Structure 1
Amino acid sequence: MDIGTTGIWSPELRLHPDPVEIHEAAAELGQHGWGALWIPGLGGGDILGDAERLLRATDETAVATGVLSIWRHSAADMAAGHARLSKEYGHRLLLGLGVSDAAAAQQAGGTYRPLAALNAYLDQLDQAPTAVPADERLVAAMGPKLTELAGRRSAGTHPFLVTPEFTAGARELLGPAPLLAPYQAVVVDDDPERARATARGFLAPFIGMGHYAGSLQRQGFTADDLAHGGSDRLIDAVVAWGGLDAIDARIRAHLDAGATHVALHAIGDGRGLPLAQWRALAPLAR
């Protein structure tokens, strides 16, 4: 599956209340030439229905879930839905899978053993009446064991809130072939104070979550960096802000570090679809 080297990652493509506006926005993004449209798993819900809306709106653009929780969606349902959508729209759906955290596992009545749970889920995808091919699924991996599993049993990995240095380490673990598609938050604003404030408002909730905080600390950030919504050092490292040249430089840093695709999340004011930001980023579609 060809997903190009850049894509758009957007919760708005799931959450915006007007499905017609989502359809029109997705069609426009497809015309811009983005390789993939990524939608997050959020709290569950009809993620395949939301993916189908994007597939219907585009002709060649891949659609990826980035990522659905294995605790909130059964493997049987995902395999059946993937088979149906592939038959209807071609092989353009990439199932991104994540192990979430211990709380999600407990809510589902399971035990949080990420490697074992993910292996079992992948087994079920393989054993479904119509299996999900390994190259049409990928794994959210932040640590070495899950990264190794992703490279062995899926197309690759989609890490969240990472630096190009993390990307380089992940590529070393994966080897040359698997897909490595980091998420990259961007703020299209060249005013440092305003851009960092926008980024900090977005990042603060994630920094407060133990698994993301742990990942950032493993990347070399300190408790001081994680305090008060994030230090400038942290903000500048995990959010690309500024004009097109600055954002393109971050994309290229990930690609030079071994990424095969970078999924851009345009952080806006939270009011509706970020059409202005997407149009500004359009020259970076490739």
Structure 2
Amino acid sequence: MYIGKTGIWSPELRLHHDPVEIHEAAAELDQHGWGALWIPGLGGGDILGDAERLLRATGNTTVATGVLSIWRHPAAEMAEGHARLRQEYGHRLLLGLGVSDAAAAQHAGGTHRPLAALDSYLDALDQAREPVPVDERVVAAMGPKLTELAGRRSAGTHPFLVSPEFIAGARAVLGSGPALAPYQAVVVDADPERAREAARGFLSPFIRMGHYAKSLLRQGFSEDDLSDGGSNRLIDAVVAWGDVDTIGERIRAHHDAGATHVALHAIGRGHGLPLAEWRQLAPLAH
């Protein structure tokens, strides 16, 4: 499945109140040439319905879930929905799957054993009446065991809040074949104070979550780096801020480390669609 070297990751493409504006924005992003449009799981909801809205608005770009929780979306329903959308729109829907955290598993009545749970979920996708092809699903893997499983049973992995150094380690685990498509937060602003403030505003809740905190600690950050919304060192490592050329340098660093695709999340200052930021970033679409 083709997703190109760069894409756009956007909660606004699910959350924005006006579906007509979402349709128009997705069509414009498709014209920019982004390889994929990624929408996050956001705790559940009709993620395939939201994906279909983007598929309907576009003609070339892949639409990817980045990522849906295996605890909130039954495998049989996802396989059935994926097959329906594939028949309608071709091979343009990439299912990104995540194991979430212990609270999500407990809420669903399960036990948070990530490897076993994901293995079983992938089994169910394989055994569905119309299976989800291996190359049309990826896994949100942060640790080496999940990364290995992702490379063996899916097209690859879509890690969150990682640096190019993490990417180099993940590529060593994956080997040369599987896709490695990290999320990359970006702030199009060359002022350090404003850029870091905007980055913290979005990222601070994630940094407090146990599974992301553990991942960041494994990457070499300290507890102090994770306090008060994230240290400058942490923010600068996981957020690309500055002008478009500077952000392009971070994309190249990911690719040089072994990434095959980078999903850019433009953090804006408003609550609507970040159209201005997307238009500024358009030269990076390829």
TM-score normalised per structure 1:
0.99
Secondary structure at the counterpart of residue 8 of structure 2: strand
| Per-residue CA distance 1:152-194 (angstroms, 9 max, x = gap) | 0000000000000000000000000000000000000001111
In the alignment, structure 2 segments of 5+ residues that lack a partner are none
Q: Kindly state the Cα deviation for residue 201 of structure 1 after the two structures are TM-superposed.
A: 1.3
Match of 2:262 in 1: 262
Amino acid at match of 2:88: E
CA distance in 2, matches of 1:272, 1:197: 18
Deviations 1:84-130 (A, max 9, x none): 00000000000000000000000000011100000000000000000
Q: Aligned residue for 1:144?
A: 144
- Deviation at residue 202 of structure 1 after TM alignment: 1.2
| Partner residue, 1:159 | 159
**Residue identity in the other structure for 2:179:** L
- The 2-side partners of 1:198 and 1:264 are apart by 15
Partner of 1:183: 183
Q: Secondary structure at the match of 1:111?
A: coil
* Aligned residue in 2 for 1:10: 10
Within 5 Å, give how 1:41-80 maps onto structure 2: 41-80=41-80
* Separation in structure 1 between the aligned mates of residue 270 and residue 86 of structure 2, nearest angstrom: 32
Taking the TM superposition and a 5 Å limit, the aligned residue runs for 1:65-104 are: 65-104=65-104
Deviations for 1:16-58, whole angstroms, at most 9, x for unmatched residues? 0110000000000000000000000011000000000000000
Residue 116 of structure 2 is matched in structure 1 by 116
Equivalence for 2:196: 196
Which residue does the alignment assign to 2:241? 241
Q: Which residue of 1 aligns with 2:107?
A: 107
Q: Give runs of ≥4 in structure 1 deviating > 6 Å.
A: none
- The alpha-carbon deviation at position 269 of structure 1 amounts to 1.4
Q: CA RMSD in A?
A: 0.5
Q: 2:225 matched to 1:225?
A: yes
Percent of paired sites with the same residue: 82
Displacement of 1:270 after TM fit? 3.7
Distance 1:236 1:6 in 2: 20
Give the distance between the partners of 1:204 and 1:83, measured in 2 at CA.
Answer: 37
Q: How many residues align?
A: 286
Match of 2:251 in 1: 251
**Distance across 2 between alignment mates of 1:164 and 1:230:** 18
Give the AA of the match of 1:134: V
- State the one-letter code of the partner of 1:123: D
> Cα offset for 1:63?
0.4
- Secondary structure (helix, strand or coil) at the match of 2:227 reads helix
Q: Structure 1: any 5+ residue segments left out of the alignment?
A: none
Distance 1:279 1:230 in 2: 28
| TM-score for both structures, normalised by structure 2 | 0.99
